[in-house]
Amino acid sequence: MAKRNKRSKNMPGSAGRQSAGRNARNEDNSSNAIATLQQILDYLHAIIPPHLAEGWDKVGLLVGPRREMRARQQIKHILIALDLTPAVRDQCIAESIDLLICYHPPIFKPLDRLCVQGDTPADLAVELAQNKIWIYSPHTALDAASFGTNDILAQTLGLSPRGSLMLRQPAQKHLKLVTFVPENHLEELAAAVFEAGAGQIGEFSRYTQCSFRTPGTGTFFGDYSTSPAVGTSGRLEFVREIRFETIVPESLVQEVVAALRRVHPYEEPAYDLLVMQSEKVEPGMGRIVDIRDQPTLASLARRCKLKLGLKSLQVLGDENRRIKTLGIVAGSCGTLPLQGAAKLDCVITGELKHHDMLAFQAAGLSAIMLGHAASEMPVLASLAARLNSAFPASQTELAKAAMLVRQR
Mean pLDDT of the chain: 86
Banded model confidence at residue 9, pLDDT cuts 50, 70, 90: very low
CA distances (Å), origin 392, targets 36, 72, 283, 385, 399: 13, 18, 29, 10, 18
Cβ 215 vs Cβ 240: under 8 Å: yes
375 versus 234: the higher-pLDDT residue is 375
23 has pLDDT over 60: no
Cβ 159 vs Cβ 368: under 8 Å: no
Cβ 38 vs Cβ 134: under 8 Å: no
144 has pLDDT over 50: yes
> What integer is the mean pLDDT of 191-203?
84
pLDDT of residue 404: 45
> What integer is the mean pLDDT of 69-75?
94
Contacts of 166 by beta carbon, 8 Å cutoff, 6+ apart: 284, 285, 286, 336, 339, 340
Cβ 81 vs Cβ 399: under 8 Å: yes
Half-sphere exposure in the Cβ direction for 52 (13 Å, CA): 30
Query: E strands within 37-191?
Result: 60-63, 77-81, 99-102, 134-137, 163-164, 174-182
CATH of 25-139+377-398, one of 1.10.40.30, 3.30.930.10, 3.90.1150.10, 3.40.1390.30: 3.40.1390.30
User: DSSP per residue over 230-267, as a string?
Assistant: SS-TTSEEEEEEEEEEEEEEGGGHHHHHHHHHHH-SSS
pLDDT of residue 278: 57
> What integer is the mean pLDDT of 54-67?
92
User: DSSP per residue over 4-27, as a string?
Assistant: PPPP------SS-----SS--GGG
* Ranges of each domain in the chain: 25-139+377-398, 149-166+284-369, 174-275
60 has pLDDT over 50: yes
Query: E strands within 253-385?
Result: 271-275, 287-290, 314-316, 325-332, 346-351, 366-369
What predicted TM-score, i.e. pTM, was given to this entire model? Answer: 0.67
Cβ 396 vs Cβ 44: under 8 Å: no
Banded model confidence at residue 11, pLDDT cuts 50, 70, 90: very low
> What integer is the mean pLDDT of 365-380?
97
pLDDT of residue 205: 52
218: enclosing H helix or E strand? strand 212-221
Banded model confidence at residue 403, pLDDT cuts 50, 70, 90: very low
Highest mean pLDDT among 165-179, 227-241, 316-330: 316-330
Share of the chain above pLDDT 90, in %: 68
202 has pLDDT over 90: no
> What integer is the mean pLDDT of 116-124?
86
Banded model confidence at residue 40, pLDDT cuts 50, 70, 90: very high
Strands 174-182 and 236-249: antiparallel
> What integer is the mean pLDDT of 301-328?
96
Q: Does 25-139+377-398 match 174-275 in CATH topology? A: no
pLDDT of residue 25: 36
Dihedrals φ, ψ of 240, to 5°?
A: -70, 120
274 has pLDDT over 80: yes
Contacts of 163 by beta carbon, 8 Å cutoff, 6+ apart: 287, 288
Cβ 50 vs Cβ 212: under 8 Å: no
> What integer is the mean pLDDT of 253-275?
93
18 has pLDDT over 50: no
> What integer is the mean pLDDT of 196-224?
81
> What integer is the mean pLDDT of 207-234?
82
Cβ 332 vs Cβ 372: under 8 Å: yes
CATH of 149-166+284-369, one of 3.90.950.10, 3.30.420.310, 3.30.1380.10, 3.40.1390.30: 3.40.1390.30
3-state secondary structure of 360: helix
Banded model confidence at residue 376, pLDDT cuts 50, 70, 90: very high
- Per-residue model confidence as pLDDT tens digits over 156-177: 999 999 999 987 655 567 899 9
174-275 is classed CATH 3.30.70.120: yes
